[in-house]
C-alpha cells in the first residue's frame, strides 16, 4: 500500500487526519492509543492483548516516519512503541466504528472506564485567599 498523501494532527480535537488519494480518515487519538500495534498493548497473540483504560483525553505528542511504510506515534501518556503501518492505519479508518464498539464493549465487560483514574486523597481544595 502506498503512503498517505498527508498526515495532519488536530491538537484541539485530538484526531489524526490521514489522507490517501481515494480516502480520508479522521482517527481519534484514543482509538489509535487503545489499538496500538505495540507488543505492550497487543501482546504476542490476541489472548495477550491488554485492555487500555483511562485514555479518553490522551493526545499525540509526536508523529515520526518509519521508512516508507509506517509512522511511529508518541502519545502524551508516555506510550511511544507502536509502529503503525499504512495498511493498519487504513484498516483502523475503514473499520473505525466496529473497533470503537468493540472497545466500548470490552470496557463495559471489564467494568472499566475511558476516564483516567484520579488517586483518592490527592486532591486538595485551593487555599482561601
List, for residues 34-51, the tens digit of each pLDDT value.
999 998 898 877 778 899
Query: Mean per-residue pLDDT for 88-109?
Result: 96
In the chain, where the domains are located: 6-109
CA distance 2 to 13: 26
pLDDT at 127 > cutoff 70: yes
The torsion defined by the Cα of 113, 41, 98 and 75, in degrees rounded to 10, comes to 70
**Do the Cβ atoms of 69 and 86 come closer than 8 Å?**
yes
Q: What is the CATH number of domain 6-109?
A: 3.30.2020.30
Q: Check residue 122 and give its pLDDT.
A: 65
Spatial contact of 92 and 82, defined as CB atoms under 8 Å apart: no
Question: Helix, strand, or coil here: 40?
Answer: helix
Asked if residue 69 lies in contact with residue 85, where contact means CB atoms within 8 angstroms, the answer is yes
Q: Structure pTM?
A: 0.88
Amino acid at each position: 500500500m502506498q503512503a498517505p498523501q498527508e498526515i495532519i494532527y488536530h491538537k484541539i480535537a485530538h484526531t489524526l487526519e490521514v489522507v490517501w488519494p481515494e480516502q480520508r480518515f479522521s482517527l481519534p487519538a484514543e482509538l489509535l492509543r487503545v489499538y496500538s500495534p505495540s507488543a505492550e498493548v497487543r501482546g504476542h497473540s490476541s489472548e495477550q492483548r491488554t485492555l487500555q483504560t483511562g485514555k479518553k483525553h490522551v493526545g499525540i505528542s509526536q508523529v515520526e516516519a518509519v521508512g516508507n511504510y509506517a509512522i511511529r506515534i508518541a502519545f502524551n501518556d508516555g506510550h511511544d512503541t507502536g509502529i503503525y503501518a499504512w495498511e493498519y492505519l487504513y484498516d483502523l479508518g475503514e473499520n473505525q466504528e466496529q473497533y470503537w464498539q468493540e472497545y466500548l464493549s470490552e470496557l463495559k465487560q471489564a467494568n472499566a472506564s475511558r476516564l483516567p483514574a484520579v488517586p483518592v486523597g490527592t486532591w486538595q481544595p485551593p487555599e482561601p485567599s
